[in-house]
Amino acid sequence: MIKRKLEDEINFKDLIKNPLRLFGWIYPLFFLLLIVLGVMYVKNLRQISYNQQPVLLQDSIRVWQDIEEKKGGILPAVDLTTLSNPSQDLIAAGKELYDANCQSCHGADGKGDGAAGVALNPKPRNFHETEGWTNGRTFTDLYKTLQVGIIQNGMAAYEYIAPQNRVAIIQYVRTFADYPAVTEEEIAQLDAEYKLSEGTETPNQIPVMKAISLISSETNQQIINDLNVINYIDESGYKLFREYAVDKIKIANAFKFDEVNSFDNFVKILQSDPVTLGFKAEVLTLNNGQMKELFDFIYKITS
């Protein structure tokens, strides 16, 4: 029986010659690997079991918010006497409108300390101060600010508020401090510029996506009419179009909105991805003469 000599420390060079000495480490390493894999599995159990993606914050600059649909009309005329001699009822109505539209930035007392204005630079206007006004403190200046806003200062325009309601807001704001008196000349100038005494006509408004859909539908119908009414049967270009087109409307729309008005551009676009444009892939097998006939026909129905 061979008696093994005890060693004070492992001779790592000997491990290369006799690797069986490492066999005992297989079991703890195996269990350690199982534990690591188990932790990873449990940590990702929701995605694995329900095929869910982790919640990601959406980039705010990619958020699309369309405008709302509004019916136009004639906004009521403004009683010009309320500009220089406002009633208490008008001022009370102005306070309600101020609280709903202005208080969040300018504060309840008009000191520019509203919660929504904390992060703004420059800070919202303090209506109690007399210096530093961008447009000025006259009634006309205040009305102009509500009409067009002050983009560089972060002040939005409120042209969608009825003129009489804007007058009410201004009259309430003017109660915070001593503002310049409203003269007859100023009233006449304001009326001449904004037609307050005549009423304001507001146009109809529809969402952008709805407008695009309507234009696309009209264009599609026009293309269908062109294909059905005009007799292209004897033209070689029409025969090629009918043979290689999969989606005639898609093709016509693609080249109509891209405004392809040269044969070279047509070929370049067609060669990039004919299937996506609505053609069969075999359209690329056409010779130069046939391609020119196809271009002439498509240009005719889309121009």
Q: Residue 220 pLDDT > 60, yes or no? A: yes
Alpha carbons 103 and 124: distance in angstroms, whole number: 10
> Residue 3 pLDDT > 70, yes or no?
no
- Is 67 part of any domain? no
Cα–Cα dist 54/252, whole Å: 41
Structural domain tally of the chain? 3
**Are residues 227 and 120 part of one domain?**
no
Residue 147 falls inside a structural domain: yes
pLDDT at 84: 92
Q: Residue 45: which domain range? A: 12-50
Contact 134/150 with Cβ under 8 angstroms? Answer: yes
1 in a domain, yes or no?
no
Lowest mean pLDDT among 90-99, 100-109, 164-173, 214-223: 214-223
Q: Do 116 and 193 fall into the same domain?
A: yes
Longest dimension (CA), the chain: 126
Q: How confident is the model at residue 63 (pLDDT cuts 50, 70, 90)?
A: low
CA dihedral sign, ordered 67, 68, 72, 78: negative
Is it the case that residue 243 has pLDDT exceeding 70? Answer: yes
Residues 147 and 118 in one domain: yes
Q: What is the pLDDT of residue 142?
A: 95
| Helical ranges in 109-205 per DSSP H | 139-148, 163-173, 184-194
Query: Which tens digits make up the pLDDT trace of 181-210?
Result: 999 999 999 999 988 888 777 788 888 888
Same domain, 192 and 228: no
Report the pLDDT value the prediction gives residue 4, as an integer from 0 to 100. 61
Separation CA 12–CA 134 (nearest Å): 82
Domain of 179: which CATH number? 1.10.760.10
In this structure, are 77 and 167 located in the same domain?
A: yes
How far is it, in rounded angstroms, from Cα 287 to Cα 299?
18
Q: Are strands 73-75 and 200-202 parallel, antiparallel or unpaired?
A: antiparallel
Q: Lowest mean pLDDT: which of 39-53, 167-181, 232-246? A: 39-53
Same domain, 214 and 286: yes
* pLDDT at 72 > cutoff 60: yes
